[in-house]
Amino acid sequence: MAVFELHKPNNAGGRFIYLSSHKTYSSEDYAKQSYSLYLTDELDKDEHGRIFTYYRLHAKDAHSPEQAMRYSICCPKCGATLRQVGRSLNYHDLGLYECPSCSTEKEGGN
């Protein structure tokens, strides 16, 4: 499982908080203690053997569902904005996201 630290660019403001990511070589245990927000990747294989990558948003401080919805997160692979496809598991393990650009490329490769 890869861990991606999230950080807010200096010019981010307004209603939504835009977050960009970069891959770390940290363990998830280290990320829980050290990063305010981070992503982990979750891989899923469909019946045709294609592998899809999803990202789970994690927060060090507790977040309500409304707080978690304020984030617009850049895809770690291509930089496109991720879309939320799954709900929060609890106050720290937040929404599940996918990249519309990367998933379209994967689906187009049938």
pTM: 0.81
Q: What local confidence, expressed as pLDDT, does residue 110 receive?
A: 46
Q: What element of type H or E holds 33?
A: helix 28-34
Q: What local confidence, expressed as pLDDT, does residue 79 receive?
A: 87
Give the N- to C-terminal CA distance of the chain in Å, as an integer. Answer: 26
Q: What local confidence, expressed as pLDDT, does residue 98 receive?
A: 95
The pair of three-digit structure tokens given for residue 25, joined into one six-digit string:
């070589």
Tens of pLDDT, residue by residue over 81-104, are 999 999 999 999 999 999 999 887
Question: For residue 27, what pLDDT band results from cuts at 50, 70 and 90?
Answer: confident
